[in-house]
Amino acid sequence: MRNKLRGGKTHRLVQEYLRKVGHIIDNEDLKDAAELLYSLHELRKDADYETGKLVRKEDVERALAYAEEIKEIINELEYNGISGNLENVLTYLKINGQLPQV
């Protein structure tokens, strides 16, 4: 698992994993979080690799808003009477043999 979370594909794996969990628990917010994470990653890549490109204040504000929304979704996730955060839901899925594979 740790080897899969190293290198350039890490962001994509996390996005796909959130999307899979979102499908399993039928939660549109978690699927949205995966999309927001993708958008946030795209903004970060522009800032890192498009060194001649001006980073606008609006882009920074959008990135901050995406990050805050992702954090809120993960921290307030509920499923089948389990509440608290993503970790609690993942633990529940693991106990019930429903945890998706990476």
pLDDT by residue (tens digit) across 25-66?
A: 999 999 999 999 999 998 888 888 888 888 889 989 999 999
- Please check whether residue 1 lies inside any domain of the structure: no
Domain that holds residue 25: 10-95
CA pseudo-torsion sign 42, 48, 49, 55: positive
| Number of structural domains in the chain | 1
- Please check whether residue 2 lies inside any domain of the structure: no
- Please check whether residue 4 lies inside any domain of the structure: no
Check pLDDT > 80 for residue 75: yes
- Please check whether residue 14 lies inside any domain of the structure: yes
- The per-residue pLDDT for 3 is 63
- Please check whether residue 3 lies inside any domain of the structure: no
Query: pTM score, two decimals?
Result: 0.84
- Please check whether residue 102 lies inside any domain of the structure: no
- Please check whether residue 5 lies inside any domain of the structure: no
- The per-residue pLDDT for 91 is 96
- The per-residue pLDDT for 10 is 86
Q: Phi-psi region for residue 63, left (φ > 0), alpha (ψ -120 to 50) or beta?
A: alpha
- Please check whether residue 76 lies inside any domain of the structure: yes
